[in-house]
């Protein structure tokens, strides 16, 4: 159960966040945790920078999406703001184009916390702690997620000093809650119970772990296997063969995940945030600095999606495990895969009635 401090903090965040009504005509894409640095080996953004630049210009900008940057966009704990903007001019030019058509929104995270006091952000937009989108009778609250930890401001200052004075000179890798399964689970659990209590949808980043309908990867695999098994008995013969292959593949992926993961880590991943009825009230867009590509949350045409972007050098072995298949973006080397998709009204009904 959440303690009083987290309820008060997130309630205040929700009350003060800028509010905007959206409908099925709106198109949003939510990215989190770019961690843009100064370039070079210590800049985690470098590996997926070309991918992000390309899909922003050739997909989301062309399709008139509103771009939501949900915290830790700039790695200000390690690099100066001027060094970041100087190295990634192309990215900030794209941000500015979204901003000019009033299609850019930005929150701050724990790694770019000082932006809350910055008045001259390059894209000429206000940087806020959170954003609220009202869709029908339900509010969708978007915030980075570090607010679910105690004393985030103190740890920002402390960790900034450690990273700049110790880790940077020694070339030590950046530390994040994303590398700590216990803290990651704790953040998600606190946000889940808050969102359930308030009957809202919360979309966060911070943990770098994609979540869809409050389900972890392990839970999602179990759920998909169960769904396919329900479809199998009444399916036509040809469809049965397809379903059988998918079930076998999903089962193998599930068993590999259990076999290769540490016991405590898997226990946390497989534990639902609620011992009762799970409510689909928390989503996580993952991160842009993934080893095999980047993930994002899309809201458009009355649907909410968890999407995965990758290049042709990444194996497509998981492509056949979903009800959707990767699509190449034009003649580029980049592919888009819908990992999960659901009708937004269906999710909102479950949140409203099951919370």
State the Cα–Cα distance between residues 113 and 38, nearest whole angstrom: 17
State the Cα–Cα distance between residues 207 and 286, nearest whole angstrom: 7
State the Cα–Cα distance between residues 143 and 18, nearest whole angstrom: 11
pLDDT of residue 267: 46
Task: Phi first, then psi: give them for residue 182, nearest 5 degrees.
Answer: -70, -45
344, 303 in Cβ contact below 8 A? yes
pLDDT of residue 153: 56
Q: What residues pair up with 139 in beta bridges, in sequence order?
A: 134
pLDDT of residue 2: 58
pTM score, whole prediction: 0.83
pLDDT of residue 266: 45
Q: What would the CATH number be for the domain defined by 4-214+272-354?
A: 3.60.21.10
Segments of the chain with pLDDT less than 70 = 1-2, 119, 151-181, 216-217, 261-276, 315-324
pLDDT of residue 176: 55
At CA 31, angle to CA 124 and CA 295, rounded to 5? 160
Spatial neighbors of 169 by CB under 8 A, at least 6 apart, are none
Q: What is the pLDDT of residues 291-328, one digit of tens each?
A: 889 999 999 999 999 999 999 877 555 444 455 678 99
**Upper half-sphere CA count for residue 174 (Cβ side, 13 Å):** 23
Domain residue ranges in the chain: 4-214+272-354
Q: What is the pLDDT of residues 232-246, one digit of tens each?
A: 888 898 888 988 988
pLDDT of residue 316: 52
248, 325 in Cβ contact below 8 A? no
pLDDT of residue 193: 92
């Amino acid at each position: 159960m959440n303690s009083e401090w987290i309820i008060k903090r997130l309630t205040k965040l929700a009350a003060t966040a800028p509010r905007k009504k959206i409908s099925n005509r709106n198109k949003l894409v939510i990215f989190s945790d770019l961690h843009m640095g100064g370039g070079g080996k210590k800049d985690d953004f470098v590996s997926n920078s070309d991918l992000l630049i390309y899909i922003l210009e050739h997909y989301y900008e062309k399709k008139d999406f509103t771009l939501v940057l949900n915290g830790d966009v700039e790695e200000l704990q390690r690099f100066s703001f001027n060094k970041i903007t100087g190295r990634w001019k192309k990215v900030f030019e794209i941000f500015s184009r979204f901003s000019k058509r009033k299609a850019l929104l930005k929150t701050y995270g724990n790694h770019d916390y000082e932006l809350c006091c910055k008045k001259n952000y390059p894209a000429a937009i206000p940087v806020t702690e959170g954003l609220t989108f009202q869709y029908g009778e339900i509010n969708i609250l978007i915030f980075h997620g570090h607010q679910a930890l105690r004393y985030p401001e103190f740890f920002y200052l402390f960790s900034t000093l450690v990273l700049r004075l110790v880790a940077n000179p020694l070339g030590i890798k950046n530390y994040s809650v994303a590398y700590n399964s216990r803290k990651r689970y704790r953040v998600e659990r606190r946000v889940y119970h808050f969102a359930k209590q308030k009957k809202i949808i919360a979309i966060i980043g911070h943990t770098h772990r994609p979540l869809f309908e409050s389900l972890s990867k392990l839970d999602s695999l179990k759920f998909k296997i169960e769904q396919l098994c329900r479809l199998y008995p009444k399916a036509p013969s040809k469809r049965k063969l397809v379903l059988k292959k998918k079930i076998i593949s999903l089962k193998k992926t599930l068993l590999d995940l259990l076999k290769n993961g540490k016991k405590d880590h898997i226990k946390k991943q497989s534990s639902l945030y609620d011992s009762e009825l799970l409510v689909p009230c928390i989503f996580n867009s993952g991160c842009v600095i993934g080893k095999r590509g980047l993930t994002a949350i899309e809201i458009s045409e009355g649907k909410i999606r968890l999407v995965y972007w990758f290049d042709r050098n990444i194996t497509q072995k998981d492509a056949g495990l979903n009800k959707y298949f990767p699509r190449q973006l034009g003649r580029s080397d980049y592919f888009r895969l819908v990992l999960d998709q659901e009708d937004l009204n269906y999710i909102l009904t479950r949140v409203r009635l099951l919370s």
